[in-house]
Amino acid sequence: MSGKNKFEITTLIGRETELKGDFTASGSVRIDGIVTGNVTVTGKLILGAGSSVTGNLDCAACIIGGTVLGDVSSPEKTELTGTAKVVGNITTNAIVIDENAVFQGRCEMSEVKDNSKTNRMTAKAIKESRKTARQQIVAALKNVTDSVDVEETEEAEESKVLDVM
């Protein structure tokens, strides 16, 4: 793995492990066993095939290959592999669901993550519209000035004609 996708698993719950109660960990976690309780992880959460969580998941990003009976909150990204079964609602910014995955619930996609690119594009559009507005004002003022100059020129020419007569 390189760059952005690189992460280190700091906690591992093995295949033969059963945990009862809420579980909280810093960093990235892989669960291959059974957890009965809510799981809160500050980093990425990986649920291996055959794992089971009866409770809510709250993590930065997750890859689910096991069974989850509860809601999933994963602001960055949620992936359901072909062996995943999720019965509950998912709140995430991006979701990937493999062909054989089972998902029963609602998915709410929100833009929780950094929107700096969108913000830059919006700022640029606002700047361009201000620029265009300024250009329109300048053009309108120029038209007014030009029409005043034309009127003055026409009046001057009329007075010359009257002077000649």
Give the residue from 64, 74, 68, 72 showing the smallest Cα distance to 113. Answer: 74
Predicted TM-score (pTM) of the model is 0.65
- The string of pLDDT tens digits covering residues 91-144 is 999 999 999 999 999 999 976 445 555 566 666 666 665 556 667 677 777 766
Residue whose token pair is 């990986």: 46
Q: What is the mean pLDDT of the chain?
A: 82
Confirm if 96 and 79 have CB atoms less than 8 A apart: yes
pLDDT at 165: 53
Q: How far is CA 61 from the centre of its chain?
A: 13
pLDDT at 111: 61
